Structure 1
């Protein structure tokens, strides 16, 4: 059975406590750089949760998210807490799960004004589908007493910036309305979390309870009333989502274990996760609805893996030359590939972990290229099997 946990991060202690109440016997796990996580199990399930606190802001959130992914190799990373509603769409207490995240502060200042330079990350398809399913089932909040109304789960864009937004008429409010008017909620950490997940190949979900309207009506008195309720609602939905994610992984592992071994061809690794689905059959790979033949074979040792990594570099170079891999992504991918190759040559348990994480970050960088992703998949598995 998979032992990988779900990592859940929050920005505020109030949000952290709402999540911690869902865990049975949480134990402290100290990162070597001082970050404290707590690891516990959702009561009545086999779902392990790693809980961490990032503090406010996209930069802090990105650093702690990167640290958590490196330390725990999670099934998924969930960011859970409260947010302000935009345009009056969501009610106080409702939960918003991001379909995509905007980093709304990106722009360029020119003589004729400030021009938007949007940055956006989409939620992994599998997690998005599972979240929609749970919202339709609508039993995730049944154990929450004292609710003024039944909270709804809404799906849409979340805007993430660097300031607390509480106005309808400020320059920042007008900017968001002009360039990001489909956003349902606004907060200060989702962009950092999304970027960390993207670079590390980790599925990410942003789940926010609506605690205010970000329109000038936000106040300390209202926060004392609505923040605990919104945080509790977000924690309840995130817990249910985490339990279902782990259950899916266990079902996949059982299905793979029960499959009979057949001859007459090379049976490649089968991976079907919420973030990425790559299936190897015979001498090819299937990704989504496309089939790529002659995918890289599964390496059996450090020498084989290094040779496959060298071959993969040539494939990346060809994609760069034909324009399907942009220059910045290509250079970042080369850095991760060199890191993986160097670690693989050391052939130790620690090197195996380093190689695997480098290849997962590489997978995140090339996620828009199904062919490259399919070729990389068996190498990620092989890296994990190095001694």
Structure 2
């Protein structure tokens, strides 16, 4: 279970500043490849946020998102900023939280036209549920406007492409509205971030403030005044969500000793008081009906982890042979598995963190094979406990 901060990424400096002003004691954190993040706490709380700038486009967003995931092992990644509305029902200033993201530029050109072949990523269920709960509470907005004018949170699809969409009558605009008519908003980064989260095993939420209608008025004076407010609204909801995600993570992180403690008894001591019951457990010693835990037996070391990872390699190969894992996925999975094993072999202070990141990425790669993802869950936990 991750103990890292919530990562918030933005594409524009305007969006970055809308989030940055809500953080306290922010310190620059430099990635070894030069990417700069700022890590601080949400004002008035102890909840940590790592903030980064991706620049425009899905490709750069994907690279920086994966870099942030590997660097921080975050609770979640939130991509925050502005977007254009595809339909009039979504008001300017409202916040759209993606239920799923379309990479809409996938397609095939045929004699009778361009046929859509999108990739789609759904938002994690837990984040969607929490975001819906916060939207119902409706205590996130900064605006002092009356209820009718206050920004609303809407949930639906977001379309992410590679061009600035600023027309309602162009061929591209008509094609998007024909093939993605359930999308509430359109932008240029969500697909990249969603892909990075999928491959790395990190939960991702896309949060967008509506600043324009993608209808030819994007560069108008009104748009230039609406964009800062839309960015501020998206930042306000994202910060509220980040605080709740970090709080939930802290509340569910049960201390190791307390997990081994039964009611009214010290840690590492389990009494079997149930009649006709069977207990399977690794123990240091047993006296009467009490099992006394050997502290060294509770924590998997790197040697034990390496053995389990090598066993996973055999199962991965078997699933590949049986056709459950395709060739490309198999090669990438082997590379991540080898990286995790090398980290375990080094036993440096950073090794557990690196092993966990590689195993999470591996879990994303084999997500379509439930047997393998189920086998990876305890391995990820063991790599984290090794620290």
Q: Same fold per TM (> 0.5)?
A: yes
In structure 2, the partner of 1:47 is 47
Offset from partner CA, 1:194-226 (integer Å, 9 cap, x none): 111111111000000000001223233122211
In the TM superposition, what are the counterparts of 1:371-386 in structure 2 within 5 Å? 371-386=371-386
CA distance 1:370–1:246, change in 2 (3 Å)? same
Name whichever of 146-155 and 2-11 sits farther off. Answer: 146-155
Query: In structure 1, the residue corresponding to 2:132 is in which secondary structure?
Result: helix
CA shift, 1:116, in A, is 1.8
Aligned counterpart in structure 1 of residue 280 of structure 2, from 244, 265, 289: 265
* Secondary structure class of the residue paired with 1:349: coil
Task: Output the aligned Cα RMSD.
Answer: 2.3
Which moved further from structure 2: 213-222 or 117-126?
213-222
TM-score, structure 1 normalization? 0.86
Q: 1:384: how far off? A: 3.0
Distance 1:98 1:2, change over 3 A: closer
Structure 2 unaligned regions, length at least 5? 263-269, 272-278, 283-296
1:81 maps to: 81
Distance 2:155 2:257 in 1: 35
| CA displacement at 1:84 relative to structure 2 | 0.1
Q: Which runs of 5+ in 1 are unaligned?
A: 268-296
| Separation in 2, partners of 1:255, 1:15 | 37
Larger CA Rg, structure 1 vs 2: 2
* Deviation (angstroms), 1:73: 0.7
> 2: CA distance between counterparts of 1:235 and 1:361?
28
Q: Following the alignment from structure 1 to structure 2, what is the Cα–Cα distance between the partners of residues 44 and 168?
A: 43
Structure 1 residue matching 2:99: 3-state secondary structure: strand
Residues 30 and 36 in structure 2, CA contact (< 8 A), matched pair in contact too: yes
CA deviation string 1:209-258 (max 9, x = no partner): 00000122323312221101101110010000000001101111248764
2:143 alignment counterpart? 144
Change (3 A) 1:212 1:266: farther
The one-character-per-residue Cα deviations of 1:156-186 (angstroms, maximum 9, x if unpaired) are 1100011110111212112212221111000
The answer on whether the counterparts of 1:360 and 1:380 sit within 8 Å (CA) in structure 2 is yes
How many angstroms apart in 1 are the aligned matches of 2:171 and 2:298? 55
TM-score by length of 2: 0.86
In the other structure, the counterpart of 1:223 is 223
Aligned length: 357
